[in-house]
Amino acid sequence: MRGIGRGFMSRAEFLVFGSPRIEEDDIQAVNEVLRSGWLGTGPRVKQFEADFRGYTGARYAMALNSCTAGLHLSMVVLGLKPGDEVITSPLTFCATANSIIHAGGRPVFVDINKDTLNIDPDKIEAAITPRTRAILPVHFAGRPCEMDKIMAIAKKHRLKVVEDCAHAIEAEYHGQKAGTFGDMGCFSFYVTKNVATGEGGMVITDNEEYADKIKMYGLHGMSRDAWKRFSDEGFKHYQVIFPGFKYNMMDIQAALGVSQLKKVEKFYRRRLEIWHKYNTHLAKLPLNIPAPFAPQTKHALHLYTVTLDTRQITRDKLLDALIQEKIGAGVHYTALHLHPYYRETFGHRRGDFPAAEYTADRILSLPLSAKLTEQDVDDVVSALEKTLG
């Protein structure tokens, strides 16, 4: 028999990291779109936007084909000028910083707090210059950033705030939803994210001007409601107001989004069980488990990350050993400023952000999908015990 504490035999099947939980009603919802004949942006996108407004309490929600698109458009509508600086975390996905660059700005990294793995708010002010226009905090793994401190700094220095909520759909800070603190919040529905549409994203805001521009710039810069130009409401000519982008979401994606969003709290509760089980069993191993949840916050439980606390094995060797045991794990992330482009363009070197580098060298994400069975979770624990025990 397999299981915790017993002689562990590898699983038969590879456990794919981040595989989403897709159920019969999700499949049904997509089938209905396919049969409807309207695959592009249409009524399901409208529904998903309305549902997302309802879920977050934001006044406006604009569905797009990715969070990357949302981050890019957010930076565009802030009107960055060449050389304008945007402060962000070096422990994030490359899309966060790339979006700043695509809008003509320059990413300025500020080191993380080693416990929360979020941008260290106490280090932000030292990085502010006359060129600083915005702060782009990332709610890493789903743990909300210290938004009271970040918003106070932004107010004092008259900076805009755009929240990268790719990990943070369910996250709340002092009773308020992540994504509603700043000027805009950007969410991801990529395959591995807490709500999955395959590819997809959403920007929320309370600012009507930003909302209108994002909607328009996300569809070629065509005048409002251009997506209706082939509908039964009568042919509509559109006008191009800005050289925009092709970032609209399709109804196929939105149908999945509507169906998945209904189950967001159910999936969350399942991930919370897995989270506690990992905490219980992994605390004995030479690794650091995630910091406890801060009071009055809701962690969105997107990634369960551990940082290795041993010289006995490197993170990359541990990843290989887990793959041998048929467990797919992830790395979120290698330090962004040390990738060739950022080194060469901005002159970054090892030593610039010690906490991010320390973490990035040792961090590993364990499977945390709501799809996991008890046996899957036991197998992850056993594989770690076998390798590290």
Ligand X SMILES: *Cc1c(COP(=O)(O)O)cnc(C)c1O
Binding residues among 82-141 for ligand X as defined by CB under 6 A? 92-93, 95-96, 138
Give 138's strand partners.
Answer: 164
Binding segment for ligand X (CB under 6 A), chosen from 162-170, 226-234, 288-296, 361-369, is 162-170
Binding residues among 248-277 for ligand X as defined by CB under 6 A? none
Binding mask 193-232 for ligand X (x = CB under 6 A): --------x-------------------------------
Among residues 114, 160, 177, 193, which one is catalytic? 193
Q: Any catalytic annotation for residue 193?
A: yes
Strand order across the 201-205 sheet: 60-64, 201-205, 184-188, 160-164, 132-136, 85-88, 106-109
How distant, in Å, are the alpha carbons of 1, 50, 297, 306 from that of 333?
A: 35, 33, 23, 12
Whole-number Å distance between alpha carbons of 332 and 93: 8
How distant, in Å, are the alpha carbons of 161, 251, 315, 340, 348 from that of 343?
A: 25, 40, 23, 5, 4
Binding mask 317-356 for ligand X (x = CB under 6 A): ----------------------------------------
Stated as kind and residue range, the H or E segment containing 30 is helix 24-36
Tokens of 175: 């009773």
**Minimum gap (Å) between residue 166 Cβ and ligand X:** 3
When asked if residue 362 is in the footprint of ligand X (CB under 6 A), the reply is no
Interface size with ligand X, residues (CB under 6 A): 14
Tokens of 40: 């592009």
Interacting residue with ligand X among 42, 60, 63, 68 (CB under 6 A) = 68
Binding segment for ligand X (CB under 6 A), chosen from 48-56, 61-69, 307-315, 356-364, is 61-69
Strand order across the 304-308 sheet: 287-288, 304-308, 363-366
- Catalytic residue numbers, as ranges: 193
Task: List residues near ligand X by CB under 6 A.
Answer: 66-68, 92-93, 95-96, 138, 164, 166-167, 188, 190, 201
